[in-house]
């Protein structure tokens, strides 16, 4: 029972860290059509596993209760962890994400692209970038108003009124 409970505990901790790093939100930041479920997600499952594993380990190693009683208590704690995590997501995390204002000008910020049509000084050219298995084109201008030649690798800073403001990758790389 001790080894099994430790395995469930470690699995829950690893899954919890994964959920913190990769989130429980949407599959794609550019296709936010599906809101996460507060009941069925990585974080809720991780909380249940941690609650079960920790309780089962402590009961198995520190008490003389029967295995059946240990399992009943561990499942009760796992259920409580599931309920608390669901409540946390339903009442705080999901409403907070819903209320967050996303500034569409910066939705593509940091996206790499390439100039396809020369950008004249303080003028507009064109840019091609790839995202989510698609290739897209936008009018583009240099963020400083400088000229830019076709073939130049760029980074999108923002998009205003359908025009991407870009900076040469070479300039960005110098700052890194």
To the nearest whole number, what is the mean pLDDT of the chain? 89
Q: At what angle do helices 2-22 and 42-62 cross, to 10 degrees?
A: 150
Give the HSE-up count for residue 38: Cα atoms under 13 Å, Cβ half-sphere: 16
Tokens coding 117? 């049509």
DSSP classification of residue 105: G
CA 11 → CA 14, 30, 72, 77, distances in Å?
A: 5, 30, 20, 17
- Give the integer Cα–Cα distance in Å for 116 and 151: 6
Decide if 110 contacts 119 (C-beta within 8 A).
no
- How large is the average pLDDT for residues 119-138? 92
The separation between CA 152 and the C-alpha centre of its own chain, rounded to angstroms, equals 30
- Give the integer Cα–Cα distance in Å for 49 and 123: 57
Is residue 160 pLDDT above 80, yes or no?
yes
Q: What pLDDT band is residue 96 in, cutting at 50, 70 and 90?
A: confident
Task: Look at residue 25 in the predicted model and tell me its pLDDT.
Answer: 57
Task: Look at residue 34 in the predicted model and tell me its pLDDT.
Answer: 61
Decide if 110 contacts 65 (C-beta within 8 A).
no
Q: What pLDDT band is residue 14 in, cutting at 50, 70 and 90?
A: very high
Task: List, in sequence order, every residue forming a beta bridge with 82; answer none if it has no partner.
Answer: none
Among 19-33, 35-49, 157-171, which range has the highest average pLDDT? 157-171
CA 114 → CA 63, 160, 175, distances in Å?
A: 65, 18, 19
Q: What pLDDT band is residue 164 in, cutting at 50, 70 and 90?
A: very high
């Amino acid at each position: 029972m001790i080894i099994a409970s430790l395995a469930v505990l470690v699995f829950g901790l690893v899954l919890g860290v994964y959920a913190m790093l990769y989130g429980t939100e949407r599959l794609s930041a550019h296709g936010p059509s599906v809101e996460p479920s507060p009941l069925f997600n990585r974080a809720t499952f991780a909380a249940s596993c941690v609650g079960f594993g920790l309780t089962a380990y402590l009961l198995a190693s520190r008490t003389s209760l029967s295995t059946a009683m240990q399992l009943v208590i561990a499942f009760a704690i796992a259920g409580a962890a599931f309920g608390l995590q669901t409540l946390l997501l339903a009442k705080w995390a999901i409403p907070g994400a819903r209320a967050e204002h996303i500034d569409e000008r910066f939705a593509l910020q940091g996206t790499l692209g390439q100039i396809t049509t020369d950008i004249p000084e303080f003028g507009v050219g064109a840019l091609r970038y790839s995202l989510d298995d698609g290739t897209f084109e936008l009018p583009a201008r240099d963020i400083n108003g400088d000229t830019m030649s076709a073939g130049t690798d760029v980074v999108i800073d923002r998009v205003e009124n359908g025009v991407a403001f870009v900076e040469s990758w070479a300039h960005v790389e110098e700052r890194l």
